[in-house]
């Protein structure tokens, strides 16, 4: 139900300004949504590529771990695993994409040095360590890409809801108010014209009577 407002000319002008503003807002929001959707599909391709890289890195890493356990023994692999537990630092920045703040995570770049002494480690174990480093990079890349993808998706939904609210609720409500005010103003104008015609007719009738009296 449209809000009832006083049917005045100032309110009519105000509602017309609001209508133009709402229509302009819809246009801007649609442009933003289209740009976000284009960016979203670009991120989808990037996410799928990251997923494929993760699947390949995971396959290589666990196969190399299988070989390390078979050739060097699970005890040696486990001992090096305990010795190599270190923290992992990630560089995170915020990127502004069409007004949307999206986290940008940069995967770590491991140096060539291993976090343990390779002197007593077997070749298979060293290869497994290198493969799991690549797997770590792939996991972080997937997490970073899908975080951006989810954030963009949320903003697209939010923008679409705002467009729908304007198109389906706000703008129709303003249009109804404009029609109601205009109808009342037109009715008033018609009534004023009718009254003026009656007054004019009475004045003309009186003038006619006065002329006849003078002539007589």
pLDDT by residue (tens digit) across 143-182? 888 888 998 999 999 999 999 999 999 999 999 999 998 8
Residue written as tokens 């729908």? 164
Structure confidence at residue 112 (pLDDT): 52
- Tens digit of each residue's pLDDT (9 = 90 or more) over 75-107: 766 666 544 555 667 777 788 877 778 877 776
Give the whole-angstrom CA distance, residue 64 versus residue 53. Answer: 16
pTM, to two decimals: 0.69
Q: Two tokens at 141?
A: 């890349």
Helix (H) / strand (E) containing 175: helix 171-215
Q: Give me the pLDDT at residue 83, please.
A: 47
Place of tokens 């699970």: 74
What are the tokens at 144? 């970073």
- Neighbour count for residue 132 (Cβ, 10 Å): 19
165 burial level (CB within 10 Å; 0-12, 13-18, 19+): middle
Q: Are 101 and 94 in contact (CB under 8 A)?
A: yes
d(CA 88, CA 80): 17
pLDDT of residue 60: 92
Cβ–Cβ contacts within 10 Å for residue 13, how many?
11
């Amino acid at each position: 139900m449209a809000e009832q407002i006083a049917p005045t000319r100032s309110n009519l002008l105000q509602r017309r300004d609001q209508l133009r503003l709402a229509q302009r807002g819809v246009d801007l929001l649609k442009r933003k949504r289209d740009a976000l959707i284009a960016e979203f599909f670009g991120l989808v391709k990037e996410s799928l590529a990251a997923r494929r890289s993760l699947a390949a890195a995971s396959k290589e890493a666990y196969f190399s771990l299988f070989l390390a356990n078979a050739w060097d023994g699970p005890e040696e692999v486990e001992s090096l695993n305990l010795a190599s537990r270190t923290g992992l630092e990630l560089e995170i920045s915020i990127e502004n994409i069409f007004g949307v703040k999206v986290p940008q995570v940069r995967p770590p770049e491991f140096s060539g040095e291993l976090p343990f002494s390779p002197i007593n480690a077997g070749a298979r174990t060293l290869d497994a360590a290198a493969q799991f480093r690549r797997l770590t990079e792939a996991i972080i890349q997937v997490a970073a890409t899908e975080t951006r993808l989810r954030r963009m998706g949320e903003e697209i939904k939010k923008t679409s809801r705002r467009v729908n609210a304007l198109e389906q609720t706000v703008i129709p409500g303003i249009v109804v108010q404009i029609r109601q005010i205009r109808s009342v103003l037109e009715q008033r104008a018609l009534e004023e014209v009718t009254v003026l015609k009656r007054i004019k007719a009475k004045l003309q009738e009186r003038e006619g009577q006065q002329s006849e009296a003078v002539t007589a």
